[in-house]
Amino acid sequence: MNQTSTSLGKRSWLAAGLLAGLALAPLGARAQAPAMPPAKLEALKKELLVEIDKQQKTTQQMVDMVFSFGELGFQETETSRYLTGILKKNGFVIQTGISGVPTAWTATWGKGKPVIAIGSDIDCIPKASQKPGVAYHDPIIEGAPGHGEGHNSGVPLNITAVLALKKIMEREHLPGTLMLWPGVAEEQLGTKAYFVRDGYFKNVDACIFTHVGDNLGVSYGDNGGNGMISVKFDFDGQAAHSAGAPWRGRSALDAVELMDVGWNFHREHMEVTQRSHYVIPDGGDQPNVVPSKASVWYYFRDRTYPKIMEMYADALKMAEGATLMTKTTTTHEVLGSAWPGHMNKAIAEAMYQNMRTVGLPQWSADDQVLARATQVEMKAPKTDRRNRPIDGLATKLDSLTAPEAFSIGGGSDDIADISWNVPTVVLRYPANIPGLPGHHWSNAIAMATPIAHKGVTAGAKAEALTLLDMLVNPALIKDAWTYFTDVQTKDTKYTPMVSATDKPAITLNKNIMAQYRPEMAKYYYNPAKYKSYLEQLGITYPTVRPAGAPAKANGTD
């Protein structure tokens, strides 16, 4: 067939598809072409895989650059500037400051339905500074934050996948709108409920979220985690000389401690699924002044929205009781929230088939040496919670994870708020080392090394293939909404935990970053001068403890 007839055939296929899409497709998939012929889809998928492999150098640079910024929640200024700059250069329309959060943004490209949101988190962990590729504690800057969760890798994965897909969409004239966005301050569960509240997902047909893991994986239904509300209680008292006139003081710190004592006694009567933890961000200024102000910050977690709100109500009563005992007053502020998660079955099943096509990366001997040395350093368990062996990096693809029949709860992620408003899945990709504690410097060891680079490339392939399926197969979007309506939300309706007047806590972590950023800036990655961040830091990959050298107690230094 000559070039002209090929073009005409393509246009006639699209024209027929658009008409059929308008007449037959569900509302969420209007103006979307009917399912593409299998042979053509297969050819485009093979092309996507090749294109993503071509981008490996760019992917590596993005992963390493964001790792070097190491920015805490709400303070991800360099990270957001860098990532939106790449997207703007590639034709995306950028909207910054969404929901009143300076580091939050959307980047949109394309036209028509379906509208697919593609997100991942960008914040890091306090005191998690760590040299990549070094299998023991060796911070870049002592005490500084770092990517001890791996959030430096998710948006680079998304950009890699979307830029490869964009080329095909342009050439094939495929309708559809892609909206990239970042999870800001995920560690504080600080923004996604606000994005939902403020309408940024109102016209979205489906959402793919990516999160670092140690295998390629996806799940559907109830993932067994907890929802959560984050609340800071502020107490006000009266200052006085602690020795000269203590009777004139009303200690706000006493109120904080009495609330904590009451809550800790309350733990005896908490249900097995409940979790709570706290820190005291303000305990007064100095011992010889009765603290006139003090605060305590709590996370309250449980498996259902009503149970979470019951915990919150109990805490409010204890705060009031503490004021009665100390003659102080109290106010409280919601700093973040997350519903219990529930992911979409139809999209998860389609994604898992693409994961089977992609498979796990081919790990090098050096990759496995770093992984096993880190596992020894951290005294990793021999098996994971699903009784799978932990020995180096994963070499067998994870299975599609069905809903848990029973769970005693665990962590929380505010992607769940989006999942209760739009069909959503979370793609886990193998960029980290199995068996590590999480939220810890050891989880940063792999995150600017070939392990992360290969894992992100594998994840980008799985994501790009699934995005293509969603663009050319209207039945997939329709099935996703059928599950969302008839199963997920049939008996459970989303009620936001944040109110119309609550605002994101954008000042969180500001002082910490102000303290460390000037020194951290000296170590920002320079890809124009160095092939990798490992090279810039002068790290031999992998670096492990010399034989016979003792590890520090508990592997935590």
pLDDT exceeds cutoff 50 at 383: yes
The region that residue 359 occupies, defined by phi over 0 for left and psi between -120 and 50 for alpha, beta otherwise, is left
- Answer with the residue of higher pLDDT: 7 or 161: 161
Q: Report which of residues 10 and 504 the model is more confident about.
A: 504
Give the span between the Cα atoms of 126 and 513, in whole angstroms: 10
Cβ pair 59, 460 in contact under 8 A? yes
Q: Show Cβ contacts of residue 506 under 8 Å, excluding neighbours closer than 6 positions.
A: 74, 100, 101, 102
pLDDT of 247 > 50? The answer is yes
pLDDT digits (tens, 9 = 90+) for 312-346: 999 999 999 999 999 999 999 999 999 999 999 99
- pLDDT, residue 384, reads 86
Q: Which of the four pLDDT bands, split at 50, 70 and 90, describes residue 21?
A: very low
Q: What is the pLDDT of residue 456?
A: 98
pLDDT digits (tens, 9 = 90+) for 160-205: 999 999 999 999 999 999 999 999 999 999 999 999 999 999 999 9
Peptide bond connecting 281 to the previous residue in cis, omega within 30 degrees of 0: no
Q: How many CB atoms lie within 10 A of CB 545?
A: 14
Q: Which of 253, 233, 234, 237 is nearest to 327 (CA)?
A: 237
For the chain, the domains span 38-224+340-492, 227-338
Longest dimension (CA), the chain: 97
Q: Residue type for 147, please?
A: H
Give the residue from 405, 462, 382, 470 showing the smallest Cα distance to 428.
462
Query: How far apart are the C-alpha atoms of 370 and 447, rounded to whole Å?
Result: 12
Is the pLDDT at 477 greater than 50? The verdict is: yes
Examine the pLDDT at 25 and tell me if it is beyond 70: no
Mean pLDDT of 380-396: 91
Q: Which amino acid is at 136?
A: Y
Q: Is the pLDDT of residue 474 over 50?
A: yes
pLDDT, average across residues 105-111: 98
Residue 556 has a pLDDT of 46
pLDDT value, residue 551: 62
* pLDDT score for 401: 82
Distances (CA, A) of 541 to 116, 299, 368: 38, 39, 11
Q: How far apart, in whole angstroms, are the C-alpha atoms of residue 263 and residue 503?
A: 26
Tokens describing residue 144: 């500084």
Q: For residues 279-304, b (16+ Cβ closer than 10 Å) or e, as one string?
A: eeebebeeeeebbbbbbbbbbbbbbe
Neighbours of 463 (CB within 10 A): 30
Contact call for residues 437 and 411 (beta carbons, < 8 A) = no
Structure confidence by residue, pLDDT tens digits, 211-228 = 999 999 999 999 888 999
**Whether pLDDT at 5 is above 50:** no
Residues sharing a CB contact under 8 Å with residue 550, sequence separation 6 or more, in sequence order: none
Which range, of 2-16, 105-119, 321-335, averages the lowest pLDDT?
2-16
Superfamily of 38-224+340-492 according to CATH = Zn peptidases (3.40.630.10)
Which residue stretches of 248-296 are H helix?
252-266
Listed residue (365, 359, 356, 385) closest to 455, CA to CA: 359
pLDDT of the residue at 122: 98
Among the residues of 407-486, which ranges form H helices? Answer: 415-419, 450-472, 474-483
CA neighbor of 54 nearest in space, from 169, 162, 160: 160
Count of H-run helices and E-run strands, the chain:
15, 12
Q: Which segment of 263-272, 277-286, 381-390 scores lowest on mean pLDDT?
A: 381-390
Q: 532: which residues sit within 8 A by CB, 6+ positions away?
A: 60, 64, 448
User: Is residue 429 predicted with pLDDT exceeding 50?
Assistant: yes
Tell which wins on pLDDT, 41 or 2: 41
**Token pair listed for 150:** 């791996």
The reported pLDDT for the residue numbered 33 is 56
Is-same-fold flag (38-224+340-492; 227-338)? no
Confidence of residue 9 (pLDDT cuts 50, 70, 90): very low
User: 552 pLDDT band (50/70/90 cuts)?
Assistant: low
In the numeric block, the tokens 């760019």 are attached to 58
| Mean pLDDT, residues 365-375 | 98
pLDDT at 106: 98
Are 341 and 413 within 8 A, CB to CB?
Answer: yes
Tokens for 189, please give them.
């569960």
CA gap 305, 222 in Å, rounded: 13
Average pLDDT, the chain: 92
Task: Work out the average pLDDT over 348-358.
Answer: 98
Give domain 227-338's CATH number out of 3.20.20.70, 3.20.20.140, 3.30.70.360, 3.40.50.2000. Answer: 3.30.70.360
**pLDDT tier at 407 (50, 70, 90 boundaries)?**
confident
Q: Using 50, 70 and 90 to split pLDDT, how confident is the model at 35?
A: confident
Instruction: Label the pairing between strands 342-343 and 221-222.
Output: antiparallel
The DSSP secondary-structure symbol of 484 reads: I
As to burial, measured by CB atoms within 10 angstroms (0-12 exposed, 13-18 middle, 19+ buried), residue 239 is: middle
Q: Is the pLDDT of residue 31 over 90?
A: no
pLDDT score, position 547: 75
The pLDDT of 126-149, averaged and rounded, is: 98
Q: Give the pLDDT confidence score for residue 402 in this predicted structure.
A: 80
Where is pLDDT greater, at 99 or 14? 99
- How many residues in the chain? 557
3-class secondary structure, 528:
coil
Which residues share a beta bridge with 338? 228
Residue 550 above 70 pLDDT? no
Q: Compute the average pLDDT of residues 352-381.
A: 97
Q: Which of 161, 196, 193, 197 lies closest to 180 in space, CA to CA?
A: 161
- pLDDT tens-place string over residues 530-545: 999 999 999 999 999 9
In percent, the amount of the chain with pLDDT more than 90 equals 87
pLDDT at 23: 35
